[in-house]
Amino acid sequence: MKNVLCSLFFVMLIVSMHTGGVFAAEKPSVEKGRLLFNSQSLAGATSGKSCAECHPGGAGLENAWKNQNLAGQVNTCIAGPLKGLKLDENSIEMQSVIMYIRSLKQQH
């Protein structure tokens, strides 16, 4: 019985560690947003451009955090200059990009 309980505990520990890693990877973050902002393949973009091409270092976005429709504005840029597909406004990618853009107000 003791061996069964130890084995069960060990399996639960491994599953718990793995599940925690999966959930952690699924959360939006400023760092993920920064990477996406600088990615030429954001949302399937085909133009060879990234957000950073027009906004190097976040230039011009210092007050974007005030925009009530920031997700809509991001999608306008993705569908327009980046030639990509609009992101779901509740997606991890969109939330990460928004978190990154909002973090820019603290840098300037």
For the chain, domains (ranges, CATH) are 28-107 (1.10.760.10)
Is residue 63 within 8 Å of 105, Cβ to Cβ? yes
88 in helix, strand or coil?
coil
Maximum average pLDDT range among 11-20, 32-41, 98-107: 32-41
Residue 9 has pLDDT above 50, yes or no: no
d(CA 81, CA 75): 10
pLDDT by residue (tens digit) across 21-57? 444 558 999 999 999 999 999 999 999 999 999 999 9
pLDDT class for 1, splitting at 50, 70, 90?
low
